[in-house]
Amino acid sequence: MESFVGLPLNELDTPVLCIDMPLVEINIARMASFFAERPAALRPHTKTHKSPVLAHRQLAAGAIGVTCAKLGEAEAMAQAGIQDILIANQIVGPRKIARLVNLAQYTQVMVAVDDPGNVEELGLAAQRKGVALRVLVEVDIGMGRCGVPPDQPAVDLGARVATTPGLRLEGVMGYEGHAVMIPDYEERTRRAEAAVARLISTKEGFEAAGLPVPIVSSGGTGTYAITGDYAGVTEVQAGSYITMDTQYRDKVGMDFHLALFVLAQVISTPRPGVAIIDAGVKTLTRDFGLPVVAAPEGWELTRLSEEHGFLEQRGGDPLHRGDRVKIWPNHGCTTINLHDHYVAVREGSVEAVWPIAGRGKVR
């Protein structure tokens, strides 16, 4: 794929995942400028782009570190020289814990905990390795996923971490995932603030108990401006904003550019008003809705099978075999995870091809 560099977009073989670099740069700068003026900092989630190159761009723009969903993703970032990594997830089982403490030997990795048994296992492994493993207590602030209940149960677990040799208590994390996609801004604000209030009251409980709590981490793209402005939050984990997707744009109305697209090709025009492209669910995902045709105008993507996309004409000009179609993914994170490389595009031609190093790193 490296031979793509320098080619005009319309000469690329299809289907191919592309990022529009000027738009990515605007998105990075827009988010960075929000945090530049506030006490809270940005720790972007790499679960979206899964690319160390893009993570380095975010760090250069002011991010304090990265957030990862999985240990394998964190290893991919560490291998590319990224130092400050939060794994916003539980790391369970001897094999994974061994990998985690090895990673802690050469990066400032942090991990979330919500269970005393896990705390003990992490502490023993960290001691054996001779590292001080950084730990955040994960608090369930209303999403109902992982995390201990707010306040006393979280404080108790924090005390356990603080007294476990091998571990270094760094604070608390939550994630108001139940609020990030609420379309109505006032309702989203109300729900997000109610969630973050639980995290802040837990932080105050830590302070009252004399426990260190330098980090209070939460937030996503849909709530960055709410959570990032909430007193006491020290960092926000937004990820999707960098490439955006039509789910966030159309449902939540987020003000970032759609910088991610798949370039596909018409392979058949079986009936008037219908065109079939060479991109199905092995190229594009539909977990929250169908992708959207960005160009040409007048065509709607109505169905995806494995390797085919069905386009129906609503207006505009007819499509012909071999024509290029630009598609905006509905969900960037899962679409990116289907691809090995990004084709980075500027002014209609390929500037770079970057491996998506964290792609498929689910272990």
Ligand X SMILES: Cc1ncc(COP(=O)(O)O)c(C=O)c1O
Residues that bind ligand X (CB under 6 A): 45, 48, 88, 175, 177, 180, 220-222, 237-240
Query: How wide is the angle at C-alpha 174 spanned by C-alphas 139 and 167, nearest 5°?
Result: 65
The C-alpha atoms of residue 102 and residue 12 are separated, in whole angstroms, by 41
3 state SS for 211-269: CCCCEEEECCHHHHHHHCCCCCCCEECCCHHHCCCHHHHHHHCCCCCCCEEEEEEEEEC
Pick the closer one to ligand X by CB: 45 or 160: 45
Written as one letter, the residue type at 108 is: Q
Written as one letter, the residue type at 198 is: R
Pick the closer one to ligand X by CB: 86 or 211: 86
Pick the closer one to ligand X by CB: 158 or 220: 220
Pick the closer one to ligand X by CB: 88 or 101: 88
CB of 2 to ligand X, least distance (A): 29
CB of 256 to ligand X, least distance (A): 10
Tell me the residue number closest to ligand X, measured at CB: 220
Question: DSSP code of 142?
Answer: S
CB of 165 to ligand X, least distance (A): 28
Pick the closer one to ligand X by CB: 221 or 335: 221
CB of 253 to ligand X, least distance (A): 14
For residue 233, what are its two tokens? 């939050």
In the numeric block, the tokens 């160390």 are attached to 52
CB of 29 to ligand X, least distance (A): 17
The C-alpha atoms of residue 300 and residue 265 are separated, in whole angstroms, by 14
CB of 73 to ligand X, least distance (A): 12
Pick the closer one to ligand X by CB: 87 or 103: 87
Contact 171, 215 (CB under 8 A): yes
